[in-house]
C-alpha cells in the first residue's frame, strides 16, 4: 500500500471509530507516522479525504452492480445478482458503509452533491430492475421506488452485524438475502 492509501485507510478507521468531526488531521497523521505539513503533501484536507472515501464507495457499488447485471436479460436473475453484489460489498466493506451512512451530514458542497447524485444513480439502478420485472409480469409490488429503498436498506444492514467469524458465512448471507429480495418484490417464475 502506498502512502496515500495508508492515509485513506487510517482516515476511514478513525472516522468509523471517532466520527468525522472528532477526528483531526493530526490524528490521521499520527496514525500513519506523518507530522503536520508533511501530511498535506498527500491530501488537501480532511474534507477531501471524507469525500474520496464516500465517492469511491459509491463508484465501487455502481461498478459491481454493472458487472452483476450484465450477464443476464432475465429480470429475476438480474435482480438476484444485483442484490448479491450489494450484500457482498456491504459484508466486505463494513467501515466504508458505516462512514458512508453516518457521515453524509459532514460533507460540504460540492462533495455532498456529488455523493448524493451517485447514491441517487445507484438507487435508480435497482428501481429500473424492479420496474423491468413489473413490466414483464415477473414482479408484483406496488411501488418500485419503495421496493428499491427496502432492498438497499436490507443490504446496508449487513455492514452493521456481519462478521467473517459469525454464525453464517458470507455466501450463506448473500444467498439468503437474495432470496429475501425476490420475495419482497413478489418474484414469480418465467412463463
Here the CATH number for the domain that contains residue 38 is: 1.10.10
The CATH number of residue 55's host domain is 1.10.357.10
Q: Are residues 32 and 123 in the same domain?
A: no
What's the predicted TM-score (pTM) here? 0.93
Residue 56: band (very low, low, confident or very high) from pLDDT cuts 50, 70, 90? very high
Q: Are residues 95 and 151 in the same domain?
A: yes
Closest CA to 150 of 189, 120, 185, 187: 185
Tell me the per-residue pLDDT of 70-127, one tens digit each, with 9 for 90 and over: 999 999 999 999 999 999 999 999 999 999 999 999 999 999 999 999 999 999 999 9
Q: Are residues 27 and 118 in the same domain?
A: no
Residue 188: band (very low, low, confident or very high) from pLDDT cuts 50, 70, 90? confident
Within-domain flag for 36: yes
pLDDT (0 to 100) of residue 23: 96
Q: Are residues 101 and 38 in the same domain?
A: no
pLDDT (0 to 100) of residue 4: 87
Within-domain flag for 80: yes
Cell of 145: 421506488
Q: Are residues 18 and 94 in the same domain?
A: no
Report the share of the chain in percent with pLDDT over 90: 88
pLDDT (0 to 100) of residue 1: 64
Q: Are residues 85 and 17 in the same domain?
A: no
Give the structural domain span for 37. Answer: 1-43
Q: Are residues 98 and 25 in the same domain?
A: no
Average pLDDT of the chain?
A: 94
Within-domain flag for 87: yes
Residues 6+ apart with CB under 8 A from 128: none
Q: Is the pLDDT of residue 59 over 80?
A: yes
Q: Is the pLDDT of residue 2 over 90?
A: no
Within-domain flag for 35: yes
Within-domain flag for 24: yes
pLDDT (0 to 100) of residue 128: 98
Within-domain flag for 191: no
pLDDT (0 to 100) of residue 68: 98
pLDDT (0 to 100) of residue 14: 97
Q: Are residues 93 and 34 in the same domain?
A: no
Q: How many domains does the chain have?
A: 2
Q: Are residues 68 and 135 in the same domain?
A: yes
Taking the mean position of all CA atoms in its chain, how far away is CA 114? 15
Within-domain flag for 162: yes
Q: Are residues 87 and 20 in the same domain?
A: no
Amino acid at each position: 500500500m502506498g502512502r496515500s492509501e495508508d492515509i485513506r485507510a487510517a482516515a476511514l478507521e478513525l472516522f468509523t471509530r471517532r466520527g468525522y468531526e472528532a477526528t483531526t488531521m493530526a490524528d490521521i497523521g499520527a496514525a500513519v507516522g506523518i507530522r503536520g505539513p508533511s501530511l498535506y503533501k498527500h491530501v488537501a484536507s480532511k474534507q477531501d479525504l471524507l469525500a474520496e472515501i464516500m465517492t469511491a464507495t459509491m463508484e465501487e457499488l455502481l461498478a459491481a452492480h454493472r458487472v452483476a447485471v450484465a450477464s443476464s436479460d432475465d429480470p429475476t436473475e438480474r435482480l438476484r445478482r444485483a442484490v448479491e453484489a450489494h450484500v457482498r460489498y456491504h459484508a466486505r466493506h463494513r467501515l466504508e458503509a458505516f462512514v458512508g451512512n453516518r457521515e453524509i451530514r459532514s460533507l460540504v458542497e460540492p462533495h455532498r452533491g456529488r455523493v448524493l447524485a451517485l447514491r441517487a444513480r445507484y438507487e435508480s439502478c435497482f428501481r429500473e430492475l424492479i420496474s423491468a420485472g413489473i413490466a414483464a409480469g415477473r414482479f408484483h409490488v406496488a411501488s418500485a421506488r419503495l421496493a428499491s429503498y427496502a432492498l438497499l436498506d436490507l443490504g446496508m444492514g449487513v455492514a452493521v452485524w456481519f462478521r467473517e467469524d459469525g454464525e453464517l458465512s458470507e455466501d450463506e448471507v448473500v444467498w439468503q438475502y437474495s432470496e429475501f429480495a425476490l420475495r419482497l418484490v413478489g418474484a414469480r417464475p418465467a412463463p
